Structure 1
Amino acid sequence: MKLRMNHREANPKVFEIMLQLETSVQSLGLDKTLYELVKIRASQLNNCAFCIDMHAKELQGMGEQFDRILLLSVWREVPIYTEREKAALELTEYLTRLSDAGLPDEVYARVRAQFQESEIAALILAINTINGWNRLGVATGMFPGCFL
């Protein structure tokens, strides 16, 4: 495999801005495990191998159970995620695939039952951020180990 473009070298400011956004999202107080689950799920939907690999390793390094990483793409089918995590994962799916169905009221109601509005706003920004990273990664042909 060959990287289409190294965006870090082509325009370092792009990478810097994305890092600033990531740092800002991390300062909003989201649970780190929840945020990593959201990152992996969006990356799965967007087929971003680089991000799936990076965030799965991040969760593994945090001591997360292997099954919760491995089975994330089928989170509805297994009883290993909390109601809060399920709500965040569902929101992630709908916002990542926004053009398919928008965000149905019943999905928002499930999210609202688990999170305060300030947390929902943070989740929305977190989902937007990982989708931005995914688009940068897929567009430039990033893959696990491409910067080694």
Structure 2
Amino acid sequence: MATIAATHNLAADAYRAMLGVEKYLAQCSIEPAIRELVKLHVSQINGCAYCIDMHWKDARAGDETEQRLYSLPAWRETPYYSQRERTALLVAEELTKVAHHPLPAEVLEQAKAEFSDQELLDLAWVVAAINAWNRVNIAVSMEPGGYQPARQALSA
């Protein structure tokens, strides 16, 4: 199994570039709680065990509830998510399953009702970044379980 140290030593410049994207996303217009829900859900869609483990732990460190996390794959059928969160999850699904070119009109209309142009662009970057991390971590067989988050508040 690969380790984080081994993978970013092999492609240090690419890893640093991705960390630059993450630095931007950490201060972007999408609130931290939604960013973590999106990262976790996209990782579930892509089957990236390492990223599922990481973003579940990060969400819990940010005071996300277990109920909302274990219900995430069935977010449409539960009352636990706000309209803004539901829209972010819908956009994340559509952008992850890229067979739809462009976003379906009804999804784009819903997204524009919930997110400003800047927020929608930032949300697209959140989705693009986690999709990239998923693919790299799957490619190098990152082993889940060892990641430990820094305690953080997601309400910021």
TM-score (norm. length: structure 1): 0.92
Shift in alpha-carbon separation, 1:66–1:18, aligned structure 2, 3 A: same
DSSP-derived class of the 1:18 partner = helix
Judge conservation of contact 1:7–1:14 (CA < 8 Å) in 2. no
TM-score (norm. length: structure 2): 0.87
Aligned to 2:65: 65
The within-5 A match list for 1:1-148 is 2-3=1-2, 6-99=6-99, 101-102=100-101, 103-145=103-145
Most deviating of 12-21 and 49-58: 12-21
Report the alpha carbon displacement of residue 143 of structure 1 after superposing the two structures with TM. 2.2
Report the alpha carbon displacement of residue 146 of structure 1 after superposing the two structures with TM. 6.2
Shift in alpha-carbon separation, 1:26–1:77, aligned structure 2, 3 A: same
Report the alpha carbon displacement of residue 77 of structure 1 after superposing the two structures with TM. 0.9
Most deviating of 51-60 and 137-146: 137-146
Q: Deviations over 1:57-86 (max 9, x none)?
A: 011011111111111111001010000000
Report the alpha carbon displacement of residue 11 of structure 1 after superposing the two structures with TM. 2.1
**Partners in 1 of 2:15 and 2:140 — Cα distance?**
12
DSSP-derived class of the 1:35 partner = helix
Judge conservation of contact 1:48–1:134 (CA < 8 Å) in 2. yes
What amino acid sits opposite 1:129 in the alignment?
A: A
Of all paired residues, the percent bearing the same amino acid is: 34
DSSP-derived class of the 1:41 partner = helix
How many residues are paired up?
A: 146
What amino acid sits opposite 2:18 in the alignment?
A: M
Most deviating of 10-19 and 84-93: 10-19
Judge conservation of contact 1:3–1:146 (CA < 8 Å) in 2. no
The 4+ residue runs of structure 1 with deviation greater than 3 A are: 145-148
Judge conservation of contact 1:38–1:127 (CA < 8 Å) in 2. yes
Most deviating of 138-147 and 28-37: 138-147
**Partners in 2 of 1:147 and 1:72 — Cα distance?**
21
DSSP-derived class of the 1:90 partner = helix
User: Which runs of 5 or more structure 2 residues have no equivalent in the other structure?
Assistant: 149-156
What amino acid sits opposite 1:125 in the alignment?
A: W
Task: Pick the structure with more helix per residue.
Answer: 1
What amino acid sits opposite 2:69 in the alignment?
A: I
User: Which runs of 5 or more structure 1 residues have no equivalent in the other structure?
Assistant: none
